[in-house]
Each structure stands twice: as C-alpha cells, then as structure tokens.
Chain A
Amino acid sequence: MTAATVMTSHRLVAMANQIANNVPSREGVAEQVAHHMQQFWTPPMRRELQLLAQSEPELFDAAVLDAVALAPV
C-alpha cells in the first residue's frame, strides 16, 4: 500500500465511524450502518472496508465492525 492509499483507506474507516456515530437511532446501529453503506457505497469501497476490518480492527467503532459483518459485498 502506498501512503496515498493508506490515507484514503483510513478516510473510509473515518467515514464509516462517522456514520455509526450519527445514524438516527441508538438501537440497531450496525444494521443502520450496513444499510447506509448498501445504499450509498460502491462495492469496492465496502470490500476495502472489509479488508481493513480484518487488518486494522483497532481503527473501527464496534458497531462498524458489526456492520461490516452484516453487509454483503
């Protein structure tokens, strides 16, 4: 991975964490995040997030990790 790709990958995680923080309901956050990504993210973005969830889970909010598991790519 180049520095540029690392930076943009980390942006993906930040975006996902931000979604988890902001979805309307505090119940079922992971489902909401998964649905949001399904609606608005390209499959490669979702795939990349999945990979990052395995390689750098410490960057992720717990709900996002759950969402990644829920979201089919």
Chain B
Amino acid sequence: MNSVQQFDPATDLGTPGVLSDAVVNVVIDGIEIQVPEGTSVMRAAAIAGAPVPKLCATEQLEAFGSCRLCLVEIEGRRGTPAACTTLCEPGMSVRTQSSQLDRLRKGVMELYISDHPLDCLTCSANGDCELQDMAGVVGLRTVRYGEGDNHLTAPTDASNPYFSFDASKCIVCSRCVRACDEVQGTFALTIAGRGFDSRVSPSEEQAFFDSECVSCGACVQACPTATLQEKRVIDVGVPTRQVKTTCAYCGVGCSFVAEMKGNEVVRMVPDKTGGANAGHSCVKGRFAWGYASHADRITEPMIREHREDSWQVVSWEQAIAFAAERFQTIQRVHGTDAIGGITSSRCTNEEVYVVQKMVRAAFGTNNVDTCARVCHSPTGYGLKQTFGTSAGTQDFASIDEADAIMVIGANPTDAHPVFGSRMKQRLRQGADLIVIDPRATDLVRSPHIVAKHHLPLMPGTNVAVLNAMAHVVVTEDLVADAFVAERCDATSFAHWKAFVALPENSPEAIAELAGLSPESIRHAARTYASAHNGAIYYGLGVTEHSQGSTMVMAMANLAMATGNIGRRGVGVNPLRGQNNVQGACDMGSFPHEFAGYRHVSDDSVRQQFADIWGVSLREDPGMRIPNMLDGAIAGHFRGLYVQGEDIAQSDPNTHHVTAALQAMDCVVVQDLFLNETAKYAHVFLPGTSFLEKDGTFTNAERRINRVRPVMPPRSGKAEWQVTCDLSAAMGYPMDYPNSAAIMDEIAALTPTFAGVSFSYLDKVGSVQWPCNDSAPLGTPIMHEQRFVRGSGQFMTTPYVPTDERTTRKYPLVLTTGRILSQYNVGAQTRRTDNQRWHGEDLLDIHESDAQLRGIANGDWIEVASRAGTTRLRARISSAIPAGVVYTTFHHPVSGTNVITTDNSDWATNCPEYKVTAVEVRPAGGMSP
C-alpha cells in the first residue's frame, strides 16, 4: 500500500469535509486511502495526492456538479461520474487519469474557452485564475470552435465600491450564487435566464450596489476567475506576500490573510482555517480597512498647554515627559487617586494589559476601567454570579447543534454578520428561532427563515419577560429536574422557583406592561424549554439597561433550569460588540479585578502580582468611568489616560462627559484620529491600527487569536511601547523585549491563560481559554462537568422598572443600535466607502407616531430627552412598534448620546443606552 502523501492545508480539497465515525477504504489511482464516510471522491483524491481538475467545486460550498471537469472512471460503473458529487463507497476503485478522461476534460475546457476572452496577459486575475490553471492542467492547446455565439461583450457592473462584476469573464459556475446562499445566507444572487443565456444576476436584475447584496465578499472569494474581482486588485495588481491576522471590528474575531504588495495591503481575504469565521467575512472586515491609511490619521505625538491652544507636534520623548509631568503634578497636589486610565477593547490584550499595569503599578491606584463598562460589564457580573466566570459558554460552532435559538437584544446579521450567517445556516436547517427584541430585525424574516416567535417587547421590560418565561417553565413542568439536581445549588433553585412561580411573574400579569400577548410568551418559553438543545444569544439589548445585570442572571437561570448549559448546542452567549471586549475584561481592566477576574482584595492573588511586578498594590477597588467623570466634576479627579476610546462620543449624556473632561488638568488620548475626546485633550499619542499591531485579540467565544503586524507602525512606535515609556517616565519602568513577553507575563499570572504564548498560538492557530495544564487545547465549551463556581447558582431576579419613564412630555422610548456597514462611533467606517451605504443616522419611527406629529419620511426632526436635544432625519419604519423610536450612533453630527441619560445598570453602571424617554417633533428648516 502506498502511503498517503502530505497535502498543503491551503489546498482546496474541493468539497466540504465530513465528520463521521465510520470510515471507508477506497483506492484512487492505486493509492489506498481511508476517509470518513460521506467524503466525496474528489476530496479523497485530493487527500490521496491525486487532485482532480475542478472549477465549480470548492470546499467552502456543497458539491454542485456543474462544470463537469472532474469526471473520473470508477471500476464497475458505467460512464464517467463527477468526482465532486460521487461519494466514496467501500472498496471503490477510482481512476482519475485515462485517455478518455483527458479527452473529455479537454473537451469541456475547449467549450469554456470558446466563450471566454483571451486576454489572460492583461487580466487582473492573471496568475490567480482557476480557469487559467485548469486550462493548463488539462493541456488545452487549441479551440476549434470558430466564431460563434458568445458573451464577450457582456457589460461590467462596477457599482459596488469594492468589487466589480465583469460578465464577459463569467463561466456560470454558480459559485458566487451558492456562496451567497450557503455561506452568507442573503440569497441576493441568482442565475437569470436559461441555457446559454444563463447569467449571474443580483436580486432582480439590479446593479450590485442597488441589490440586496451585503458586500460580504463571499462571492468575490468564491469566484474562480476575474469576473468578481476586488477593485484593489484591478488597480494594484496581485499580491506578493501574505500575513495571517485578525480583524479589528466586532467580537466575532474573523481571521484574515492580509495580502500585501510591499507594505501596502492589496486585499484582506478571510482565512478558511480561521477558528471563528472558517473563511467567511463581512463588508467591514473584508473591505473597510482603508481607514488605516486615511489622510486624517495622526502619526506624530502632539501636546498643548491648554485645550484652547492649537496642537504642537513634538518628539515622543517630549510628549511622554509632558504627560508624565502633568500626571505627577496632579498626584502631588490632589492625591494618588486623582488620576486614572481607560483601556480599549479595540487594542490587543498586551496593550490593554500594560495600560492597566501602568495604572496599578506606576500610578499606584486602581482607577482603571475599560470601555466594556458601557457594553458588556453586566455580562461579566451576571455570569460570574451564576456560573462562576465572566464569559460566554460556547464556541460559535456550537450553534450547529442548537435546536431552538433564542436571540435577545441582538441583531447578529448587522452587528456580528459572520456569526449571523452561521446562525442562519442552522436556522435554514430547521432550528426554531425566538427573537426577543422591540424591533423586527432582519433575522425575524429573511430568505428561508421565519422566526417561530418574535416578542416585540417594550424597551426596559426584559427582566419581566424572562421572569414570565421562567414562570411558564416552572409551572408547566418544563424544568430539567435531573440537571438541576445534579449540577445546581438546591437552595437557590428552590428560592428562584418559588419566586418565578409567583402570580405577579406570570405572562398574564406582565403582558400588558411588556406590550406582548401572554400566549406569545408562553409559546416562546415552551419552544425554548422543550427543545433538545436550546441556546441563548444576546447583545447590548440585554446589558445596556438599568437591570442589565439582572437580565443576564435571568437568562442564566433559565438556561440552568432547562438544562441548557454544559454541552454543544446550548449555552448563554454574549455577542461582544468589539473585537477585544472579552480580552480587555480578561486582562484586568476593571477597577476591582486583576487579570482573570480576581478581586483586588484577594491577598494571595495580589501578592502574586506584587511579587512579579515588584511593587505593592492597592487592595481597594478603584473608580469606574462614571465615577471618574463624576469625580472630575466634583473636582477631585483631574487626570485621565484614554486608550483608543472616544468617550465624548460613545458615552451617554455627552454634556456631562464633556463637562467632566473640561474639568480635568490633563487628558491624554491615544488614538488613530483626532476624535471628539481629543478636543478636550492635552496630549495626543498616535496609536497603531490593527495592521501594525503585534499581539492577540480574544473574541466573544473566548478565542485568543493572533494579530500580526503586516506593516511597521506608522507612528514609529508600538502602542505598548508608548505605554511602557510613559510608565517609565512616571517612575515605574516596564521592560519587555517584545509583545510576546507581555503575553508570557499574562500567562504566568493568569491561571486561565497559563498555556497561552505567541509560539503556541502560532502553532495551533487559536485557542479558547481556559488554556492550561488541565485544558492544553483550550476549552470550546465551558461548564461541561461542573460549573466554574461549583454548582450553578440561581439568583432571584425581581423586575424593577427603570426610572427612565415615558411621560406626557417625553412619550416615546428611544432605543439605539448598529447597522451592517458602519461600526460604533464610525471612526473607522466613516473613513471608508462604507459611507455610501449609510451616510447619516436616521430616526426610525412608526407610521402612527409620525402621523400624529405631522412627520413625513425624510423630514428633519428634533429629538428631545431630559438630557438634551439633537436633530436627525426621520424614516417611517414598520420594523418597530408604535411608541418606540430607534436610531444608530455612527455619526458624531447626530449627537445621539446628547440625548441618552446618566441612568445605568444597578450593579455595573453600564449605561442605559437602550431606554431614553424622548419627544420627537418636526424641526422645520434644513439640516442642523
């Protein structure tokens, strides 16, 4: 028996891999090989080192069998079946080469080329074209068909800003159509016409830009020719080198291959070996990275004496010395605790770690907080209380086994598109969908998906609705008794059960205040509780409430009571907003915790840090961001180091934030751009884009991914070096030879990271923490045998309405969210062509509310809350219920946070962005 040859993992094996316990033995060109049952002949042949020519097949898509280039001969079978659609059967003997097959493949290729431009030398895909490759493989030398019908003059659609569609080069393999269907799930593309007239068509014969296309790039990725091609490649040419790295947008954490020409990025291509994305991408990660080289980028340090002065470009040394001197002066005059720092979820674990270390060790205070304060701090609190650790329970792949998927306060198709696509794949396979959201998000009804239950609840009533669902579970005998008995704390369960069983928690009792029918709540509860595997996915619609932490605990309770925790297909899963929210929290960015979520008052933990850091550490919690801002206004907090967060735009109640910033003596901003916060800063330290960073991001599934520099820092310094320099100037040197050494220190001090190092990640690709001696390969699913805290703790969750009530003066509830093409405050996406999809924030308003106020679609309107007033244009929408209005916050000019209030989560002070009582009236006149 010949041994199986090694194959390059980058090779496309043609059809998706299959998981099967059963194996079959087949012989391919005399090579005996064993493959999982269900493997195609094509894949087996490629593994055996006898790849079969192919054009319509790719392992990212199900076999389609249309190109007919992969024909093979099988002993004992008539004809020449296609290798892609023929499955291996025991004892099968396959021939991939014969004179007949040569003739047929050449004949097929001759047909292709008879309708294809012969401009290879000037084609943008020259050297990167599967058609070209295959013509070579089959040895086509002449095309005997003379002039005939063809598509050589078919037009090019260049409407999409990032890629073009050259119909003359299309070979109608349907890979783009299938990628849109199977991978992305948007179903924007189809084949129009029949026979020779078949052609790829976006939506109903529209231009790409005008169609339902979401520019995820899956079609471009799938295209074997230059038909769908990045405009960058057309302009710049094919790349010459590549670097694997991680996207810096949302918490999905997609792996990308940055394809480079020198130090210029040609394109970002999703990495099919990426643990989080498996080769898929969205419009932001795939295309919207041009901000990194935008002209607005600041690459030199700047200082100014007073914030009214203009900026002065200085050397790094001058800037660092200036900042250090100011901070030290403040501490001398106002005390050690008069300064603090904010870490950024956009930065690497290593960059975050050194900032919090600088604050604790060099500043000598625990006044460090992170921008996760304003998004997922309730997740950390709630999951720690119930399960024992502050993180989501599953890997993304777990959803492939979920039977009922409950999406609460999240809009994954816009905000976490790559995971949204994976979720849609599972939903199309038949999993039930429950959406709890005031808005009819796209997920509620999309191609081949209809939510089984959509509960459009009033913003602010999450806890009441979850309690009512729990009421149904305990009163209708839907509790997973065995799981609860074995895995959970009996006393707390009994308390919780008695509590949710109270009549005041019944669906009937809370239906009216939630704006739902009791039946809809009962049905949804039954669907979730009786599913074999029920999984909860949630977003900021859960956390950004005055009861955000309570709601997280309510979901954890429900999951435990129904036994939906501790295996694949279940779980409680936060969809993290930013690329490194999880990591920033893990790294000890919260004022009360060291890395690994250990309280600063824990003497033994504190001693470990003190020993390695060589400095004594404070045992009392420091200030949270809102405490710092309040302290600034009160006059005792006077200096702030802000790493990559634009609090003046992103934090609520802008007037309050800017007043606080104005009250400080020294604000240091480290960022790519002169953002809103920088208007109040004294020192600007230029940051690095993700393309320049060397470190790690941790995504929503606790996956630690490597971020690799594809070019040197444009500012000349890595961000962690800048922080170290400032720390040294403050009297506490931190000497790391490189960022790998920072991770080594993190691993040494953090039990859940003990097995993590750059070299290990470079070897395995990525790993999910906990990664240590007891879990050397990481932990895709948490709480499998026991909860981290031992037994699962039920927490009673009384519903307490927010103080933010609607009144006659402010009768509407404003809620906020994100859309696909823009990202958070828009600092990145606004500096790309994504602007073309979403050039301004709009206020969505229900038709009846609009009519009542004489507002028409597109009118300028004024939105007023107790905190402030802003102006937006109105869009009449049926996706929100009457009484609720909705907007995004991607554009500073919209001033969305001018109107959001100081209300916050009771346990974590996460702002209540999702509920603001407002009134809306026609603004009259033109734009503000």
Contact = CB atoms under 8 A, between A and B. Distances in A.
Direct contact of A and B (CB under 8 A): yes
Interface of A: 2, 4-5, 7-9, 11, 15, 18-19, 21-22, 24-26, 36, 39-45
A42 B369 CA distance: 13
Interface stretch (B158-166, B505-513, B627-635): B627-635
Q: Classify the secondary structure of B's interface with A.
A: loop
Contacts of A19: 906-907
A8 B631 contact: yes
A44 B367 CA distance: 12
Contact of A42 (B337, B902, B906, B909): B337
Given A8-B633, A18-B906, A44 B337 contact: yes
Contact of A25 (B550, B591, B796): B796
A24 B491 CA distance: 14
B633 A21 contact: no
Contact of B795 (A4, A24, A41): A24
Interface in B733-757: none
B623 interface: yes
B798 A39 contact: no
B623 A24 contact: no
A19 B800 CA distance: 11
B906 A21 contact: yes
Contact of A45 (B627, B796, B907): B627
Contact of A7 (B599, B631, B633): B633
Contact of A2 (B622, B635, B796, B908): B635
A45 B518 CA distance: 43
B815 interface: no
A8 B634 CA distance: 7
Nearest to A45: B627
27 contacts: A4-B633, A4-B634, A4-B635, A7-B633, A8-B631, A8-B634, A11-B902, A15-B909, A18-B546, A18-B906, A21-B800, A22-B549, A24-B553, A24-B795, A24-B797, A24-B798, A25-B495, A25-B796, A26-B796, A26-B798, A39-B592, A39-B599, A40-B591, A42-B337, A42-B591, A44-B636, A45-B623
B633 A42 contact: no
Contact of B622 (A25, A26, A42): A42
B547 to A, nearest CB: 7
Contacts of A21: 800, 906
B107 interface: no
A8 B635 CA distance: 10
B621 interface: yes
Contacts of A7: 633
Interface in B581-635: 591-592, 599, 620-624, 627, 630-631, 633-635
Interface string B541-560: 00000110110010000000
Contacts of A36: 907
Most buried by B among A19, A22, A24, A36: A24
A7 B634 CA distance: 8
A40 B385 CA distance: 14
A49 B624 CA distance: 16
Nearest to A44: B337
Interface of B: 337, 366, 495, 546-547, 549-550, 553, 591-592, 599, 620-624, 627, 630-631, 633-636, 795-798, 800, 902, 906-909
Contact of B627 (A4, A18, A42): A42
B365 to A, nearest CB: 9
B549 to A, nearest CB: 8
B798 A42 contact: no
Contacts of A11: 630, 902
A22 B635 contact: no
A44 B631 CA distance: 11
A40 B635 contact: no
Most buried by A among B599, B798, B902, B909: B798
A43 B620 contact: yes
Closest 4 CB pairs of A and B: A22-B906, A8-B630, A24-B795, A5-B634
B417 to A, nearest CB: 34
Contact of B547 (A22, A40, A42): A22
Most buried by A among B630, B635, B909: B630
A47 B155 CA distance: 74
A73 to B, nearest CB: 10
Nearest to A26: B798
A38 to B, nearest CB: 8
B621 A22 contact: no
Contacts of B631: 8
B414 to A, nearest CB: 31
B498 to A, nearest CB: 12
Given A8-B631, A22-B547, A41 B902 contact: no
A24 B599 CA distance: 21
Contacts of B546: 18, 22
Contacts of A22: 546-547, 549-550, 798, 800, 906-907
A40 B592 contact: yes
Contacts of B553: 24
A5 to B, nearest CB: 4
A36 B592 CA distance: 11
B924 to A, nearest CB: 34
A45 B902 CA distance: 18
A37 B636 CA distance: 20
Nearest to B619: A43
A59 B29 CA distance: 86
A24 B591 CA distance: 23
Contacts of B902: 11
Nearest to A16: B906
A11 B546 CA distance: 14
B337 A39 contact: no
Contacts of B909: 15
A44 to B, nearest CB: 7
B926 to A, nearest CB: 36
Contacts of B622: 42
Nearest to A18: B906
B903 to A, nearest CB: 9
Contacts of A15: 906, 909
A2 B547 CA distance: 31
B621 A41 contact: yes
Most buried by A among B549, B553, B592, B621: B621
B635 to A, nearest CB: 7
Contacts of A4: 633-635
Most buried by B among A15, A39, A40, A45: A40
Nearest to B659: A4
Most buried by B among A8, A39, A41, A43: A8
Contacts of A41: 621
Contact of B623 (A5, A9, A26, A42): A42
A15 B904 CA distance: 9
Contacts of B797: 24
Contacts of B634: 2, 4-5, 8-9
Nearest to A7: B633
A5 B637 CA distance: 12
A31 B553 CA distance: 20
Given A15-B906, A21-B906, A39-B599, 18 more contacts: A2-B635, A5-B635, A8-B630, A8-B631, A8-B634, A11-B630, A18-B906, A19-B906, A22-B549, A22-B798, A22-B800, A24-B550, A24-B795, A24-B796, A26-B796, A36-B907, A39-B621, A42-B366
Contacts of B635: 2, 4-5
A40 B621 contact: yes
A1 B162 CA distance: 58
Nearest to A36: B907
Nearest to A6: B634
B776 to A, nearest CB: 33
A21 B906 CA distance: 9
A43 B335 CA distance: 14
A29 to B, nearest CB: 11
Contacts of A24: 550, 553, 795-798
B630 A42 contact: no
Contacts of B907: 19, 22, 36, 40
